[in-house]
A and B are shown apart, each in its own frame.
Chain A
Amino acid sequence: MKRAVILALSTIFILSAGIAIAEYPDRPITYIIPFNPGGESDITARLQEPVLEEVLGVDINVTHKPGGGGAVAWSEFQRTAKPDGYTLIGVNIPHIIGQPLLRKDTGYETNGFDLIMWFHFTPNALIVRDDSPFKTLKDFIDYAKAHPKVVTVGGSGSYSANHLETLRLEREAGIKLTYIPHTGTGPLAPAILGGHLTALMNYSMLPVQLGDKVRVLAVASDERVETLPNAPTFKEQGYDIVGGAFRGVAAPKGTPKEITAKLADAFTKTNKKIAAKQVPLGFVMTYATGDAAQALVDKMRKSYSDVIDEIIKEREKK
Chain B
Amino acid sequence: MELFWKVAVELMHPFVFFLILGGVTAGLFVGAMPGLTAAMALAVLLPFTFTLPPLHGLVALGAVYMGAIYGGSFAAILVNTPGTPSSIATAFEGYPMAKDGRALEAIGLATVSSAIGGLAGVFFLLVLSPPLARLSIQFGSAEYFWVAMLGLTLIASLSPGSTLKGFLGGSIGMLLAAVGVAPIGGENRFTFGMPVLQGGVEMIVALIGFFVIPELFNMAAHGRAALAEVTIESRKRGTFLGAIRTVFSMPVNLVRSCIIGEIVAIIPGAGGSIANLVAYNEAKRASRHPERFGKGAVEGLVASESSNNVTVAGSMVPLLTLGIPGAPPDAVILGVMLMHGLRPGLDLFTVSGDLTYGFIISMGLAALYMIPVGLMGGRLIYRVIVKTPHYMLVPSIALVTILGTYALRNSLSDVVIMLLLGTAGFVLKELGVDSAPIVLGLILGGIAEMGYVQTILRGTALEHPWMMLFQNRLSQIIIVLMVLSFTSPYLSAGIRRLKNPMNEQRNEEPPE
* Residues in chain B near residue A190, CB distance under 8 A: 136-137, 139, 268, 318, 322, 324
At the interface, yes or no: A300 with Cβ under 8 Å from chain B?
A: no
Q: A36-B331, A178-B457, A181-B183 are in contact. Are A46 and B140 (CB under 8 A)?
A: no
At the interface, yes or no: A57 with Cβ under 8 Å from chain B?
A: no
* Residues in chain A near residue B199, CB distance under 8 A: 66-68, 72
At the interface, yes or no: A281 with Cβ under 8 Å from chain B?
A: yes
* Residues in chain B near residue A183, CB distance under 8 A: 183, 450
Q: How far is the CB of A222 from chain B (nearest CB, A)?
A: 25
- Indicate which residue in B322, B324, B332, B457 contacts A180 across the interface (CB closer than 8 Å): B457
Query: What total of chain A residues lie within 8 Å of the partner, measured CB to CB?
Result: 62
In the bound complex, CA of A65 to CA of B410 (Å): 6
Q: How far is the CB of A19 from chain B (nearest CB, A)?
A: 30
In the bound complex, CA of A64 to CA of B200 (Å): 16
Contact between chains at B411 and A38 (CB < 8 Å):
no
Q: How far is the CB of A235 from chain B (nearest CB, A)?
A: 28
At the interface, yes or no: A42 with Cβ under 8 Å from chain B?
A: yes
Contact between chains at B186 and A178 (CB < 8 Å):
no
Contact between chains at A191 and B140 (CB < 8 Å):
yes
In the bound complex, CA of A66 to CA of B333 (Å): 19
* Residues in chain B near residue A159, CB distance under 8 A: 186
In the bound complex, CA of A30 to CA of B78 (Å): 37
Which residues in chain B, 385-406, are within 8 Å of chain A measured between CB atoms?
A: none
From B42, B318, B458, residue with most partner A Cβ within 10 Å: B458
Contact between chains at A186 and B47 (CB < 8 Å):
no
* Residues in chain B near residue A42, CB distance under 8 A: 43, 335
Contact with B along A144-176 (1 / 0, CB 8 A): 000111101000011110000000000000000
Contact between chains at A194 and B43 (CB < 8 Å):
no
Contact between chains at A36 and B335 (CB < 8 Å):
no
* Residues in chain A near residue B343, CB distance under 8 A: 208-209, 211
* Residues in chain B near residue A49, CB distance under 8 A: 47
Contact between chains at B40 and A37 (CB < 8 Å):
yes
In the bound complex, CA of A277 to CA of B410 (Å): 29
Contact with A along B343-355 (1 / 0, CB 8 A): 1110000000000
Contact between chains at A178 and B460 (CB < 8 Å):
yes
Segment at the B interface, from A9-17, A100-108, A257-265 = A100-108
Q: Kindly report which residue of chain B lies nearest to residue A76, judged by CB atoms.
A: B196
At the interface, yes or no: B148 with Cβ under 8 Å from chain A?
A: no
Contact between chains at B322 and A189 (CB < 8 Å):
yes
In the bound complex, CA of A193 to CA of B268 (Å): 13
Contact between chains at A68 and B181 (CB < 8 Å):
yes
Q: A64-B409, A104-B188 are in contact. Are A150 and B461 (CB under 8 A)?
A: yes
At the interface, yes or no: B250 with Cβ under 8 Å from chain A?
A: no
* Residues in chain A near residue B331, CB distance under 8 A: 36-39, 186
- Indicate which residue in B42, B137, B182, B341 contacts A194 across the interface (CB closer than 8 Å): B137
Contact between chains at B182 and A158 (CB < 8 Å):
yes
- Indicate which residue in B141, B195, B200, B344 contacts A196 across the interface (CB closer than 8 Å): B141
Which residues in chain A, 178-237, are within 8 Å of chain B measured between CB atoms?
A: 178-183, 186-187, 189-191, 193-194, 196-197, 208-211, 213
Contact between chains at A186 and B43 (CB < 8 Å):
no
* Residues in chain A near residue B318, CB distance under 8 A: 190
Contact between chains at B195 and A149 (CB < 8 Å):
no
At the interface, yes or no: A47 with Cβ under 8 Å from chain B?
A: yes
Contact between chains at A50 and B47 (CB < 8 Å):
yes
At the interface, yes or no: A18 with Cβ under 8 Å from chain B?
A: no
At the interface, yes or no: B323 with Cβ under 8 Å from chain A?
A: yes
At the interface, yes or no: A294 with Cβ under 8 Å from chain B?
A: no
At the interface, yes or no: B380 with Cβ under 8 Å from chain A?
A: no
Q: Kindly report which residue of chain A lies nearest to residue B40, judged by CB atoms.
A: A37
Contact between chains at B324 and A186 (CB < 8 Å):
yes
Q: A64-B409, A72-B195, A147-B461 are in contact. Are A194 and B139 (CB under 8 A)?
A: yes
Contact between chains at A180 and B411 (CB < 8 Å):
no
Q: A193-B137, A196-B140 are in contact. Are A182 and B323 (CB under 8 A)?
A: no
At the interface, yes or no: A63 with Cβ under 8 Å from chain B?
A: yes
Q: How far is the CB of A105 from chain B (nearest CB, A)?
A: 5
In the bound complex, CA of A243 to CA of B233 (Å): 69
* Residues in chain A near residue B198, CB distance under 8 A: 67-69, 71-72, 75, 103, 105-107
Which residues in chain B, 180-221, are within 8 Å of chain A measured between CB atoms?
A: 180-188, 191, 193-196, 198-200, 202
* Residues in chain A near residue B335, CB distance under 8 A: 37-39, 42-43
Which residues in chain B, 453-485, are within 8 Å of chain A measured between CB atoms?
A: 454, 457-458, 460-461
In the bound complex, CA of A183 to CA of B181 (Å): 11
Contact between chains at B50 and A181 (CB < 8 Å):
no
At the interface, yes or no: A280 with Cβ under 8 Å from chain B?
A: yes
Q: A157-B186, A183-B450, A196-B458 are in contact. Are A38 and B332 (CB under 8 A)?
A: yes
Contact between chains at A107 and B195 (CB < 8 Å):
yes
Contact between chains at A105 and B338 (CB < 8 Å):
no
In the bound complex, CA of A280 to CA of B185 (Å): 33
Contact between chains at A193 and B322 (CB < 8 Å):
yes
In the bound complex, CA of A112 to CA of B323 (Å): 37
* Residues in chain B near residue A186, CB distance under 8 A: 268-269, 324-325, 331
In the bound complex, CA of A104 to CA of B181 (Å): 10
Which residues in chain A, 281-303, are within 8 Å of chain B measured between CB atoms?
A: 281
In the bound complex, CA of A66 to CA of B450 (Å): 19
Contact between chains at B187 and A149 (CB < 8 Å):
no
At the interface, yes or no: B8 with Cβ under 8 Å from chain A?
A: no
Q: How far is the CB of A9 from chain B (nearest CB, A)?
A: 32
Q: Kindly report which residue of chain A lies nearest to residue B49, judged by CB atoms.
A: A46
In the bound complex, CA of A129 to CA of B458 (Å): 17
At the interface, yes or no: B328 with Cβ under 8 Å from chain A?
A: yes
Q: How far is the CB of B379 from chain A (nearest CB, A)?
A: 33
In the bound complex, CA of A303 to CA of B47 (Å): 37
From A63, A72, A102, residue with most partner B Cβ within 10 Å: A72
Q: How far is the CB of B85 from chain A (nearest CB, A)?
A: 16
- Indicate which residue in B141, B328, B333 contacts A36 across the interface (CB closer than 8 Å): B328
Contact between chains at B460 and A67 (CB < 8 Å):
no
In the bound complex, CA of A189 to CA of B323 (Å): 8
At the interface, yes or no: B428 with Cβ under 8 Å from chain A?
A: no
- Indicate which residue in A32, A43, A71, A76 contacts B339 across the interface (CB closer than 8 Å): A43
In the bound complex, CA of A72 to CA of B198 (Å): 6
* Residues in chain A near residue B138, CB distance under 8 A: 194
Contact between chains at A106 and B195 (CB < 8 Å):
yes
From A66, A68, A69, A179, residue with most partner B Cβ within 10 Å: A68
Known pairs A37-B39, A50-B50, A105-B194 / 11 extra A-B pairs, C-beta < 8 Å: A66-B199, A67-B411, A68-B199, A71-B195, A72-B409, A105-B193, A105-B198, A107-B195, A158-B183, A178-B460, A186-B268
Q: Report 17 cross-chain contacts, Cβ distance below 8 Å, ordered by A residue.
A: A36-B328, A37-B331, A42-B43, A43-B338, A47-B339, A62-B47, A63-B410, A67-B196, A68-B180, A69-B186, A71-B181, A106-B198, A186-B269, A186-B325, A196-B140, A211-B345, A213-B345
Nearest 4 CB-CB pairs, A to B?
A: A67-B199, A107-B195, A68-B198, A158-B186
